[in-house]
A and B are shown apart, each in its own frame.
With several copies, the nearest count.
Chain A
Amino acid sequence: MIKINHQEQPIIIVNNLVFGYEKKLILQGISFSLNRGERVALLGKTGAGKSTLLDNLIGLKLPQQGEIMIEDLKVENSNLNQIRKKIGFAFQNPEHQLFMPTILEDVMFGLLNYQISPQKAKEKARFLLAEFDLIEYENRSAHELSGGQKRLAALAGILALDPSILILDEPTNGLDPAWRKKLAQILLNLSVEVILIASHDLHWIRKITARGLILDQGKIQVDQPLSELFKQEKTLEKYRLFLDW
């Protein structure tokens, strides 16, 4: 196991993770660890397995081999409640995230589950909805929002829980440039321990994160500071990450 020292305190450790769907192996031995304070990008082409990997981190899928540790807790059925309490997780498709009758209730849902009083929960939820420009829609159902607004509502519901670890699956999908900018600011000002973001939006992600993992052929093929990575056009092109597209 990886030793812990004070400079590099791993929050997430993934050790030789193997996962496949019935028909096909997708993750074939993934190992990496994320330390306190890190902001990390997860890159890789369409269908590489990014979403699958993220699902494994939070125990929505359980690995066939290998193990995942989140702050000294192994990701397995008995620990899931504790682990999920720490993690804010945004699905790739925000529609999958919104399930309550109105978006206000949706943002409140998590807060109420964590025993926050209804009044405080409501206050906090409305504060977040206001931050995401959604306060005028608070009593709407999610499907009465535009694509971008759904994304924002889903993000509000996650940030409301003050997670210490943030895992986002393509958070800028469907957002306009102004919102991409604002989201960047919000994320950069958050005080969380680790942020892991899967994204195809290379120009955006390089402004948010400092370290990049490239997932390909079921393995982490590259693990580098983004500033270096973005200088190596060859490497990027090898993994079909064209900067000008």
Chain B
Amino acid sequence: MLNFSLYFNLRLSLILVISTALIKTGNWYFLAIYLILAFGWTFLLKTPIFTLIKLLGLELIFLGLMSLPLGVEKASFLILRSLLCLLIMNSFLLTIPKYHLAIALKGLPLPVKMQEIVILTAQYLEILLLEIKQMHTAAKLRGLKGNSQWLRYISASLIGSLYLRSLDRSERVYNAMLIKGYNGNFPVVIKISKMEHFILIITAIIGIILTINSYNSLI
């Protein structure tokens, strides 16, 4: 099985998504090429297909409805193109190892400062989501019934309390990091190999050529 690094997967997905999203509206021929590429990528990453299908969002349907007045052909092109992008991105998402969301983001081409904030946020986020789950469990054990009641308790004050709790929690996480010598640079050991670099560059070039061509070609 192919074993790419997390960063490589992220970057390749980004390249594919961007070039798919930008092909000319109505150019079905190029869309077909990307369809094949997207499915290839999904296959290579061994993405769980059913989870993938479930993830297609409400927002897409909503926008689909609104683009329908532009004509069935145009609307279906828009939707299909969008679906392909989702397919590629989700293939990456669903194959991130558990708990590595934050680490995966280290592969983003962002300025260092922004990257640090993004990584820390993702890291806190996982902890926060766990806290919410724990709060919910604790509440259930003391007589909270079902999800609808939980919604009632997710009143503003509970969100406020969540904020204080997260403030406290993140301060502790930050302290824990400081104690282990954190100095503003998240140490992570994943590296992109030369081979992977090469593939990335090639794909990017192909992507650019295809996308530009989609505007010139007469097909």
Residues of chain A at the chain B interface (Cβ within 8 Å): 58, 60, 80-81, 84-85, 87, 89, 91, 96-102, 105, 108-110, 112-114, 118, 122, 141, 143, 157-158, 161
Contact string against A for B residues 134-162, beta-carbon threshold 8 Å, 1 for contact and 0 otherwise? 11011111111100000000000110110
Stretch at the interface among B19-27, B41-49, B61-69, B94-102: B94-102
How many Å lie between the Cα of A80 and that of B143 in the bound state?
10
User: Quick one: closest A residue to B144, CB to CB?
Assistant: A113
Q: Which 10 A-B pairs give the minimum distances between C-beta atoms?
A: A113-B143, A110-B180, A110-B142, A112-B187, A113-B181, A101-B99, A99-B135, A101-B161, A96-B172, A143-B168
Q: Chain B interface mostly helix, strand, loop or mixed?
A: helix
How many Å lie between the Cα of A161 and that of B135 in the bound state?
18
User: Quick one: closest A residue to B161, CB to CB?
Assistant: A101
Q: Which of A84, A101, A157 contacts B157 (CB 8 A)?
A: A101
Q: Which of A60, A87, A102, A157 contacts B137 (CB 8 A)?
A: A60
Chain A hits for B145, CB < 8 A: 81, 113
Cβ contact within 8 Å between B179 and A84: yes
Q: Which of B130, B143, B164, B172 contacts A101 (CB 8 A)?
A: B164
- Shortest beta-carbon distance, A174 to chain B, in Å? 16
How many Å lie between the Cα of A98 and that of B161 in the bound state?
11
How many Å lie between the Cα of A97 and that of B99 in the bound state?
16
Chain B hits for A109, CB < 8 A: 139, 142-143, 177, 180, 182, 187
B31 proximal to A (CB < 8 A): no
Chain B hits for A158, CB < 8 A: 142, 179
For the A-B complex with A81-B183, A84-B179, A101-B164 known, give 7 more contacts whose Cβ atoms are closer than 8 Å: A60-B137, A87-B179, A99-B139, A100-B158, A101-B158, A157-B142, A158-B179
